[in-house]
Amino acid sequence: MVEAIFSLHQQLLAEVSSLLADLGLSPALADTLRKLEPDHSVSRRELADRLHCDPSNVTFLADRLRERGFVASRTDAHDRRVRALTLTAAGMKARSTLADGLSMALQRSGLKGEQLRQLSALLSSATEANQCEEALER
């Protein structure tokens, strides 16, 4: 099983690395982009919580995404002291391209239909269990 996991990881990593390079994103920037939602602004603090990192790191990541035109930073309508991040049209397109690319990479792995749904359910269960353990440790 361990060998199969590493093999799939290597296969996906090769395809994802190429996709990220095409989009001009590092893995950390791609993860940040993925954690933002279309049509919903988030504060840097909220994004830091989603990324499980320090808010100062989010400032760096947000600045890099803003330079690429993927996010805009605006004053929050409810609290003018807070700068909220919003996906731009280019950011939504990059996020969609990333999601489509990952889906295609998984489909090229040989998994089909029900197998992909099972893998998704298993991965969701594993990551949810991990998040619950992390929350308990805090």
Please name each of the domains of the chain with its CATH number: 2-112 (1.10.10.10)
CB 86 within 8 A of CB 43: no
Q: What angle do CA 109, 114, 117 make, to 5 degrees?
A: 80
The mean of the pLDDT values for the chain is 85
Name the amino acid, one letter, at 69: G
Helix (H, G, I), strand (E, B) or coil at 134: helix
**Per residue in 87-98, pLDDT tens?**
999 999 999 999
**Per residue in 80-133, pLDDT tens?**
777 789 999 999 999 999 999 988 888 888 878 898 889 888 888 887 755 544
Is the pLDDT at 61 greater than 90? The verdict is yes
